[in-house]
Chain A
Amino acid sequence: MSMKTSTRQVNGVTIVDCSGRITLGEGSVILKDVVRELLSKGQKKILLNLGDVNYIDSSGIGELVSAFTTVRNQGGELKLLNLTKKVHDLLQITKLYTVFDVKDDEAAAVKSFT
């Protein structure tokens, strides 16, 4: 299953609901394009909901890092929501879990944006 995304706005925060696989090729490209488009529209408070992302590879991890730094470099914030165990474990072993701001409650996550 390839990656799919849909976006919604909640109190000024853009929530990107992601599902499927973020892997080399299509999945990573879709994530890159979504973030780029949001930034081009001035939407810099981005919450990536990864609750339905069941698989991510090193390329997908790289794309998450790229999205995080790109948004931050433009003065925005990108946070992660609802990690599955697989994605959580991957971010732990790559020491990225503490780099990202990871949330597990959507309402609290939305409120946490400055």
Chain B
Amino acid sequence: MTEQRVSYTLDSTLETVDSAEQAASRIATEAGFDDEEVMRIAMAVREAAVNAVLHGNAYDPGKKVSLAFEQTGGNLVITIRDQGKGLDPDKIPDPLAPENLLKTSGRGIFLIRSFMDEVVISPSQTGTEIKLVKHVHGPAEGAKEASQ
């Protein structure tokens, strides 16, 4: 994986959600992930962008969403930052709890955690930053595992 960094500053609109997903899909493909992993990464970024646009910035045209992709040390690291009032991850109900199964929202962070190798949510008074990490599993590593 070639080390590089790409960043975007995006408006708080639905178009941003689609743009973030498309950028994630393209960059994950270029980074060498297979189709299924690309879909998972792109969906995680989409969900994080939805959180940033809707729940963080609340569609406020004066607030921006920052999106950065960094390929470094065998990882794809994606950072999404909003300018909202800060998301407290401890207050997100478990969407798998029986009493929450039929709720119509609240699955975004769960899907992000399901699809990425590492997720770090850093809320502050000036917004929330979500860092998503996906490890690149090269063919040599896979071959080694398969031979054991």
Are A and B physically bound partners?
yes
A88 interface residue per 8 A CB criterion: no
Q: Are A57 and B114 in contact (CB under 8 A)?
A: no
Instruction: Determine the distance from Cα of A50 to Cα of B3 in the docked complex, in whole angstroms.
Output: 40
Contacts of A58 in B (CB 8 A): 47, 50, 105, 107-108, 111
Instruction: Determine the distance from Cα of A44 to Cα of B46 in the docked complex, in whole angstroms.
Output: 33
User: Which residues of B, 113-143, contact A by the 8 Å Cβ criterion?
Assistant: 114
Q: Are A61 and B14 in contact (CB under 8 A)?
A: no
Write the chain B residue with the least CB distance to A68.
B102
Some 11 contacts from A to B, beta carbons below 8 A apart, are: A24-B17, A24-B50, A58-B50, A58-B107, A59-B50, A62-B104, A65-B104, A93-B111, A93-B114, A94-B110, A99-B102
A positions within 8 Å CB-CB of B:
23-25, 57-59, 61-63, 65-66, 68-69, 86, 90, 93-96, 99
Known: A62-B103, A62-B104, A94-B107. 20 other contacts (CB 8 A): A23-B46, A24-B50, A24-B54, A57-B43, A57-B47, A57-B111, A58-B47, A58-B50, A58-B105, A58-B107, A58-B108, A59-B105, A61-B107, A62-B105, A63-B104, A86-B39, A93-B111, A94-B95, A95-B96, A95-B101
